[in-house]
Amino acid sequence: MANKLKTEQELLSAIQEKIPDFQICLSDLKNPSRDFVFRYYTMVLGEFGADVNSMVLPHPAQKNKFPHIPPETLRLTNIFKLLKVFFARIGEEFSLEDLTDPHPKRTLYLISHLDNFHTFADMRAASINDVKRNVFDRMAKRDQIINMKDNIEEKINQECISKVNRHTTKLQLESQIEMFEDNLEQLMKKKSEIVHVMDSLKSMESTLMEQNEKLLEKENELEKRIEMMKLQIVPSPQTLQENLTQLKAQLQVSVDEVAASKEAQQGKFQLLKKLQLCMEQQSARDNLLSSIINLHHEQSDANLTGMDENFSGGDEIL
């Protein structure tokens, strides 16, 4: 690579062509300042892919290690180390004064040398773009093939899993079918038992109906007898009790009158006899009513006992 020294104007044009966004004028090259060379060198380093931001800002570890050194000094030190290594690789030496106290001729020489390297790098970059593009295409195809391979493997794995799942599902279904068949057999047995019981119940139905008709006939007869007996007695036992109480009271009055008067009239004696006769009739009626009520209770108990026996017989059949 030829190290031809450019004039200020030639170098200005070259820099503006390569880095159009970089602010530069002819006076910056004729009388370079510390700020200008710092901006230019960091810009060029960034163009070549260096991580300038991490070098411009001091690392926290540096601050902790050198707490008494100002951040500006640390920043210059970091950039200087990077520039020293960079210029060494292109065959030039770089000193700290080139960064902190730039000399016009020295700065023109370094920037011209750096611009020549920049031009050389652009030419080499253009020549290897096709190679890089080919490599990138091959890498893309390789990634595509790898993705296809992964997809195929994933499909194979999914198919294997599906096959295992299908086999497991088949076994589960076979087990369920066997269980259903056993349940069906048990249900058929229960069905036969239920049909047998239903036939027995149907055979018992006619017998129960006949017994029920007989019970109804007996009940009708009892009701008729009770109605006939009711006609011969007073409407209710309470009435009998009231009448008996009244008669006893009247009898007591009569007895008291007879005892009080030794000279009782014949009419009063007849009245006493009538009262005694009424009391006897009422007592007879009272006894008759008690007998009817007891007979009714006994008949009701007999009906309930017969019905319980019928239902007990039905339960034994079931």
Which tens digits make up the pLDDT trace of 61-113? 656 666 667 777 777 888 888 889 988 988 889 999 998 999 999 999 999 88
pLDDT in tens, 237-270: 677 678 778 878 887 887 777 677 667 567 666 7
CA distance 93 to 100: 15
CA distance 298 to 290: 12
What is the predicted pLDDT for the residue at 105?
Answer: 92
Instruction: State yes or no: pLDDT of 145 exceeds 80.
Output: no
The pLDDT-based confidence of 132 (bands split at 50, 70, 90) is very low
Domains in the chain: boundaries? 8-143, 232-317
CA distance 12 to 27: 10
Instruction: State yes or no: pLDDT of 236 exceeds 70.
Output: no
Structure tokens at 285: 């009626």
Contact between residue 58 and residue 81 where contact means Cβ atoms under 8 Å apart = no
pLDDT, greater one: 46 or 262: 46
**How many other C-beta atoms lie within 10 A of the C-beta of residue 85?**
11
Lowest mean pLDDT among 2-11, 208-217, 261-270: 261-270
| Rounded mean pLDDT, 233-238 | 62
What is the predicted pLDDT for the residue at 268?
Answer: 64
CB within 8 Å of 41: residues ≥ 6 apart: 79, 83, 99
pLDDT, greater one: 287 or 133: 287
| Rounded mean pLDDT, 174-188 | 84
Instruction: State yes or no: pLDDT of 59 exceeds 70.
Output: no
- For 132-135, the CB contacts below 8 A with 24+ separation are none
| pTM for the structure as a whole | 0.38
Classify domain 8-143 at the CATH topology level: Actin-binding Protein, T-fimbrin; domain 1 (1.10.418)
Instruction: State yes or no: pLDDT of 130 exceeds 60.
Output: no
Of 45-49, 51-55, 133-137, the range with the highest mean pLDDT is 45-49
